[in-house]
């Protein structure tokens, strides 16, 4: 990645923790200009102070179209251009489909899917000028599904489908479109996951606590950006086996997942 990101301008959403935080740090260390977005300004301030490098802090909620417009405009105002959007913000769930309330499903779709629509439409014209990058951090659950994640799976499948269409529609503009589909990564994802009524799950799943280091996931994503890959799959062997089975032996995958511990 030496020198590739130097002086390029990127937006990273969900930057206050996990993969988004790791991406922001690595981009800054590579010499990029980074606009970081998350709801909690104090966490963004902590990231900036801890890194010791200048970052553009843009507090905001990705479910707000106005906030998505604001982060794009703030980046242009500060850096004069936009070379890449990495949309990492998202939320998971822990509940069966039968017990999950409709408003919880709506929240999942707002955070995980509609936010990408907002950001894409606001950023497209600017990224076209630089022939830059549009990246969605999705999940292996955008490729195949597990139990107790129905709304999360649905939102990530929607995100995957949206990005696949976008790629075709703007291919002639020279813009790179990539989807990163991580498996288990050691983040606060399960702590913040929604339960059936929309309240936080508040527990750390063993699969996540033993997952890939966020820095490693971020390195894979940035390498994919540099080499303009279509997809990258940061994750462990179990999740990648699931991806393989989902394509070639889906019934076998179903039987395996039913017997598997997913928390």
E-assigned strand segments in the chain = 9-13, 33-38, 56-59, 84-87, 133-137, 176-180, 231-232
pTM: 0.95
Catalytic residue among 79, 105, 152, 201: 152
Place of tokens 């802090």: 57
Residue 75 and residue 171 in contact, taking contact as beta carbons nearer than 8 Å: no
Q: Which of 102, 45, 41 is nearest to 67 (CA)?
A: 41
Residue extents of the structural domains in the chain: 9-259
Angle between helices 41-51 and 18-29 (to 10 degrees): 40
pLDDT in tens, 182-235: 999 988 777 899 999 999 998 877 778 788 999 999 999 999 999 999 999 999
3-state secondary structure of 227: coil
- pLDDT for 52 beyond 70: yes
Percent of the chain with pLDDT over 70: 98
- At 97, list the tokens: 């489909």
Angle between helices 115-130 and 65-79 (to 10 degrees): 20
144 a catalytic residue: no
- pLDDT for 178 beyond 80: yes
Residue 23 and residue 217 in contact, taking contact as beta carbons nearer than 8 Å: no
> How far is 244 from 95, CA to CA, in rounded Å?
26
> How far is 147 from 261, CA to CA, in rounded Å?
10
pLDDT in tens, 231-250: 999 999 999 999 999 999 99
CATH of domain 9-259: 3.40.50.720
- pLDDT for 263 beyond 70: no
- At 204, list the tokens: 């750390």
């Amino acid at each position: 990645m030496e020198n590739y990101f130097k002086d390029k301008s990127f937006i990273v959403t969900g930057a206050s923790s996990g993969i988004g935080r790791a991406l922001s740090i690595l981009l800054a260390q590579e010499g990029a200009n980074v606009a970081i977005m998350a709801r909690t300004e104090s966490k963004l301030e902590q990231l900036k102070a801890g890194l010791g490098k200048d970052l553009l802090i843009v507090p905001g909620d990705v479910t707000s179209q106005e906030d998505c417009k604001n982060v794009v405009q703030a980046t242009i105002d500060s850096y004069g251009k936009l070379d890449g959007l990495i949309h990492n913000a998202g939320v998971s769930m822990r509940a069966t489909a039968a017990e999950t309330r409709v408003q919880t499903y709506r929240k999942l779709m707002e955070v995980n899917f509609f936010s990408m629509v907002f950001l894409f439409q606001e950023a497209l014209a600017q990224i076209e000028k630089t022939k830059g990058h549009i990246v969605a951090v999705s999940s292996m659950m955008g490729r195949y599904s597990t139990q107790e994640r129905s709304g999360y799976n649905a939102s990530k499948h929607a995100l995957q489908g949206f990005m696949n269409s976008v790629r075709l529609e703007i291919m002639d503009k020279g813009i790179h479109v990539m989807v990163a589909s991580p498996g288990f990564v050691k983040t606060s994802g399960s702590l913040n996951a929604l339960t059936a009524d929309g309240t936080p799950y508040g527990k750390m799943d063993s699969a996540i606590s033993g997952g890939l280091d966020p820095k490693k996931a971020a390195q894979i994503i940035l390498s994919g950006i540099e080499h303009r890959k279509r997809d990258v799959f940061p994750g462990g062997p179990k999740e990648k086996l699931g991806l393989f089975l989902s394509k070639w032996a889906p019934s076998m995958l179903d039987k395996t997942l039913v017997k598997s511990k997913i928390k």
